[in-house]
Amino acid sequence: MAYIVTEPCINCKYTNCAAVCPVDAFREGPNFLTIDPIDCIDCDACVPECPVEAIFPDDEVPEEWEHYIELNDRLAEKWDEYLINETKDPLPDADDWAEKDEKFELLKEDWD
Ligand code: SF4
Ligand code: SF4
């Protein structure tokens, strides 16, 4: 099992979650964080830290976001060098984006 970051994180990236992970399982993309399923030890510490309730155990991911399970795996590999284990400023307008749905198309995979 592993924990999964889902759609509410896109364009918010508050990063509270990454600061509490005991095994540094989070990786950072331009406007989304992902969890490396190999590193995650299912401790649940990150879930209550996320202000937009974006993180779920993989067997509890809401059906409409199940594609994020494969996505976390793939992006954790792609962003392997972008380990994040501390809090940073959220993205501009994060509070506005936190209210919005249907953000998948906005996910940026490439840093440049
Ligand atoms: S706390 Fe939530 S919104 Fe912020 S980076 Fe973590 S998963 Fe994304
Ligand atoms: S469940 Fe625990 S180990 Fe897994 S990403 Fe969250 S804080 Fe890290």
pLDDT digits (tens, 9 = 90+) for 79-100: 999 999 999 999 889 999 999 9
What is the total count of domains within the chain? 1
Residue 64 falls inside a structural domain: yes
- Percentage with pLDDT > 90 across the chain: 92
Structural domain boundaries enclosing 20: 3-85
C-alpha closest to that of 93 among 35, 7, 6, 10? 10
Q: How far, in Å, is the centroid of ligand 1 from the Cα of 97?
A: 12
Q: What is the DSSP letter of 33?
A: E
CATH number at residue 78: 3.30.70.20
Residue 106 falls inside a structural domain: no
For ligand 2, say whether the CB of 24 is within 6 Å of any of its atoms. Answer: no
Residue 97 falls inside a structural domain: no
What confidence tens digit (pLDDT) does each residue in 37-54 have? 999 999 999 999 999 999
Q: How far, in Å, is the centroid of ligand 2 from the Cα of 1?
A: 11
Determine which residue's CA is closest to atom 2 belonging to ligand 1. Answer: 50
Residue 39 falls inside a structural domain: yes
**What pLDDT does 92 receive?**
87
User: Is the pTM higher than 0.75?
Assistant: yes
